[in-house]
Structure 1
Amino acid sequence: MIRILLAEDEEAMRTYLARALENAGYSVVAVDRGTAAVPLLEAEDFDLLLSDIVMPEMDGIELAQVCAEISPKTKVMFITGFAAVTLKASREAPQAKVLSKPFHLKDLVLEVERVFGHQQQALI
């Protein structure tokens, strides 16, 4: 099963995204900030880091850079509600997909499926 580490500081969004991904057949571990994600990346294997970009303590771009150092096989996808931040993410982490809020949960699942090059058998 594909394991996703979700870093999202907004509780309602974190719960919403985790539930959608779990319903689509993914294993999800959710944290509320980048600094909480780092020890998990060091201790466990994740297939995907799905991170908000704007978060307290450590933003998603910094988190992605740390992830690349300690878990280079983990793919990265960003979510953000800020267009200017999307441009920064594209420059600083060009291999990462950026999904801009608002988006439909179906679109999130499709993007995750594209990252892994296959279709999960689930409906949202």
Structure 2
Amino acid sequence: MKILLAEDDSDMRRFLVKALQNAGYTVVSFDNGLSAYNRLREEPFELLLTDIVMPEMDGIELARRATELDPDIKVMFITGFAAVALNPDNQAPRQAKILSKPFHLKDLVNEVTRLLAA
């Protein structure tokens, strides 16, 4: 299973990549939404794991564009701003999962596993 991770905080990104790789996932990571979107246009991923607040393209715009490219891609937001993702005006994909920061890496891996199995 391939996961595309978009997270602008380098320490957080490194921890997430390591935890997901240790759980057996292939992870490709980027520090902004635009770079992540460009990669999505090149190859398919099973899951987009994205922060919401990022430079160049925020996670909600990235998720909207990702689901336009691939309606089957699963989306999970990792954010300290859950209310932003839940706001219906922003047009985030309805089926997206939201994991609020702070969270334990074990919880992240469990949520990713559950989402990919659904």
The equivalences for 1:41-120 within 5 A come to 41-88=40-87, 92-117=92-117
* Deviation (angstroms), 1:80: 0.2
Could you tell me which runs of 5 or more consecutive residues in structure 1 were left unpaired when the two chains were aligned. 119-124
Q: Is the 8 A contact 1:86 1:100 kept in 2?
A: no
Tell me what 1:27 maps to. 26
Name the CA distance, whole Å, in 2 between partners of 1:68 and 1:92.
Answer: 10
Q: Is the 8 A contact 1:8 1:33 kept in 2?
A: yes
- TM-score w.r.t. structure 2 length? 0.92
* Deviation (angstroms), 1:114: 0.7
Paired residue total: 117
- TM-score w.r.t. structure 1 length? 0.88
Name the CA distance, whole Å, in 2 between partners of 1:81 and 1:48.
Answer: 20
Name the CA distance, whole Å, in 2 between partners of 1:83 and 1:97.
Answer: 10
Change in CA separation of 1:88 and 1:40 when aligned onto 2, cut-off 3 Å = same
Could you tell me which runs of 5 or more consecutive residues in structure 2 were left unpaired when the two chains were aligned. none
Q: Is the 8 A contact 2:33 2:59 kept in 1?
A: yes
* Deviation (angstroms), 1:88: 2.4
SS in 1 for 2:27: strand
* Deviation (angstroms), 1:86: 3.7
Give CA deviations for 1:14-36 in whole Å, capped at 9, x if unaligned.
00100000000000000000000
